[in-house]
Each structure stands twice: as structure tokens, then as C-alpha cells.
Amino acid sequence: MEDGIRLPCFNRAGHVAHAKRCMSALPASQTDIDASRLALAFYNIGILDLLGVMNDGDTISRQNGKDEWLEWLWAQQTQGKYGSGFRPSPFMLLHPPAEEFSDYNTPHIIMTYTALLALSILRDDFAKLDRSGLIRLLRACQRDDGSFTTTPGGGESDLRTLYCAFAISAMLDDWSGVDVERAKSFVTSCRTYEGGYGQDLFCEAQGGTTYIALASLYLAPSSSETDPLTLEEKRQTVKWLMSTQTSSGGFCGRTGKVGDSCYCFWCGASLKILKMDHLVETKTLASFLADSQFKFGGIAKCPGEHPDPYHTYLSIAALCMYPPSPLAADEKPDSWEFPELDPLLNARVDTAEWARKYISGKGHRT
């Protein structure tokens, strides 16, 4: 299978340029990300981190706008009666800004997770982090069924938010903000007959939510003592995940769908969590992602489509777990070298280590 494939060069410089472009002004056609801008910032900063241009020297980072980015990210931290966390952007922030958030300018759990990771990439010391406020925010967002709403007192709730609440607790190394058992039973209730997990009770198995479910279960503090899945469950989940790699080399999100670069991360990281990453065919996977590269930088969901930071970040994150091998000299092997990734937090290993150390407060000198 691998013999016939010749990989082109991985266009690192193009992807760096694409990420930087997406950090400057966005056209009005992207107004729909007004209420999720912080996630976009995370994907772009993450691309730079995975491609090794972020922390290879402070000068480079500063040229990249590190100080301005830190300032903007911290400006999104907000406090109020439900605790503290990060909002998606100042889209509901009044001019001049008020001290406390109103019910309509609250922190958002998913954005808080992406903010903590983005700040870790920028090697912030988290001296400004309101830790006890974060715990109160998580408490305010957990519902009776164990799931979490995106914002206190409302908003949609599904598995994505639950994962972010778990990742935040893991980075804080403090689980007192969540009822872990109730949350885990919600995750379990989203399992389907195919072996994957749906977004909500009774929903179809899907790659993204399967990652979210597994990462949550394996982030939970008890998972180091007892495996969250039985042997039979694990085998069934691995079978389903393996079946999502299509003949194009790319993974698809649901049974019978076509390959999509973001699912190379979601399904690939799921297999990595289950320690089955050695089973994945890496060369065809890389060839699918190579073909999804856009001529002027960035990676699309599949060949022929337009790129975006979400698919670019997740494609590179997939390559961090599944670097293609073996490579011939004319395949530009050094363009295909990537750092190791922590599949549970979805960040470079050194970034994830930084997050766990400084967000928990344990990295601080006295």
C-alpha cells in the first residue's frame, strides 16, 4: 500500500502565513464567528505552535505579536456572579466597559478551554487567572443530567462543553467544580450501538463527539486506577474508529461518509487515547492531508475545497500523532517532521505540560 505513494512537500511556510493572515483583520463574510472568535485565535496560535515557530526563541514570538495577543486574550477574562472565565470576544462588551459581566456578557466554557490553551502556547505564567472563579463557573454550568451548558444559566448543552469542563479541571488539577460521576454517566449514555458516541442522548455515533467522550473519560481522575471502558467496549470502539479511515486515506466522521481532514484528528486522537495508534496507515493519511493543502497555504476539509484555521490546525495535529513513514529523500522528510501531541488536551506535549503546571498554580515560584 505504502509503496506507491510519493508525498509532495508539506507547505509549512504557507501554513504559517495563512495562520498569521487569519490573525489580522477578517472580512465581513466571517461575521458568524463573532461569537466564537477566541476559538479561531486558538487554532491560529496552535498552528504556529505545532509548526514550531512560536517558542523557538522569544524574539520570534515577539515578532509574531505575542504581547498584543496576550493582552487581547486576558481582556476576555471576565468576572461576575457566576464565577469567572473567558468570553468569545468583546462582541457584547459595552463601551466603556463595565467592571462586572451582565447576564448577557458571560464567560463561555468552550472559549475558556481554548483561552487556557492559547495562553499556555504563549507561555503565560497565569498570575492573572482567577482559579476559584473558574471552579464557580463550572458549578454554575453543570446540569442535573451531568452535562454542561456553554454559558451560565443557558445556552445549548452537549458533550463538547462537558469535555471542556473536564479539560479545565485537569489543567487546574482541581475537580471540585464538577460532579465527575454524574458527568461520566452522561458520557456513557451517549454511547451508541456502533461503538462510537453521539453528541447527545440517542444521537448517531460521530468522530468529533467520540473523541470528546473518550478524552473526557480518560481525563477523569479515576481513569488511572480503573479503565473507563470494558475490554469488549474498547474493542468495539476501536473497530468503529478503524472503519472510519476511508480508501482516500482520510478519516470520515460517520459510517459511510467521505474523508474529511478534521476527522483525521478526531478519530486519530481517539485511537491514540485507546493506545491503538500503531494500527493506523500513516502514509495514505498524510497523502490525503497533503492533497487537501491549499496552494496559497492552509488546509481544507478535503482536496479541492478552501482552507480554514479549524481544518488546518486539526490536520497538523493529526500529523503530529501520525507522521508519515517511511519517507524517501525526494519526499522532503524534514517538511514532514512534527512535535509530539498530547491527545487528551489537544496540544503539543510541552504546551500541555506547561498548562498543567502553570494553570494549576504549581509552577509558580514563591
Partner 1 sequence: MNTEQKQEKLLFAERPEWSDVDPIPQYETSTPIAPILYTPQYKDATDYFRAIVKSGERSERVLQLTEELIRLNPAHYTAWQYRYETLLALSSSLQTELELMNELAIKYLKTYQVWHHRRLLITLLRTPQPELQFIETCLRVDSKNYHTWSYRQWLLSHFVDDDDLWRGELEFIENVIGDDVRNNSAWHHRYFVVFGCGVRSGSEDRARIVRRELIFTKQNISLAPNNPSAWNYLRGILDYNRLPYSLCTRFVKPYTLPLDPNTVDIVDLENPPPSRGAELPCVYAIEFLADIHEKAGDKDNILKGVDLWKSLANEHDTIRKKYWEHRIREALQSAT
Among 79, 131, 188, 204, binds partner 1 (CB under 8 A): 204
**Taking CB under 8 A as the rule, does residue 243 contact partner 1?**
yes
CB of 301 to Zn ion, least distance (A): 4
CB of 33 to Zn ion, least distance (A): 15
**Taking CB under 8 A as the rule, does residue 205 contact partner 1?**
yes
Nearer to partner 1, 156 or 173 (CB): 156
- What's the Cα-to-Cα distance from 118 to each of 55, 73, 74, 131, rounded to whole Å? 13, 8, 11, 17
- Cβ atoms of 78 and 106 within 8 Å: the answer is yes
Q: Which stretch binds partner 1 (CB under 8 A): 46-54, 236-244, 261-269, 345-353?
A: 236-244
42 to 61, contacts with partner 1 by CB under 8 A? 44
Count other Cβ atoms within 10 Å, centred on residue 210: 32
Nearer to partner 1, 158 or 174 (CB): 158
Nearer to partner 1, 25 or 127 (CB): 25
* 3-class secondary-structure state, position 122: coil
Among 124, 260, 308, 331, binds Zn ion (CB under 5 A): 260
d(CA 14, CA 3): 28
d(CA 315, CA 227): 29
Q: Which stretch binds Zn ion (CB under 5 A): 143-151, 163-171, 262-270, 322-330?
A: 262-270
Render the burial of 35-63: b for 16+ CB within 10 Å, e for the rest.
ebbbbbbbbbbbbbbbbebbbeeeeebee
d(CA 363, CA 133): 19
**Taking CB under 8 A as the rule, does residue 245 contact partner 1?**
yes
Nearer to partner 1, 55 or 282 (CB): 282
107 to 166, contacts with partner 1 by CB under 8 A? 150-151, 154-156
CB of 159 to Zn ion, least distance (A): 17
Among 6, 176, 201, 275, binds partner 1 (CB under 8 A): 201
Nearer to partner 1, 2 or 173 (CB): 2
130 by Cβ neighbours in 10 Å (0-12 / 13-18 / 19+) ranks as middle
Name the residue among 319, 322, 289, 285 with its Cα closest to residue 303. Answer: 289
Interface residue list for Zn ion (CB under 5 A): 260, 262, 301
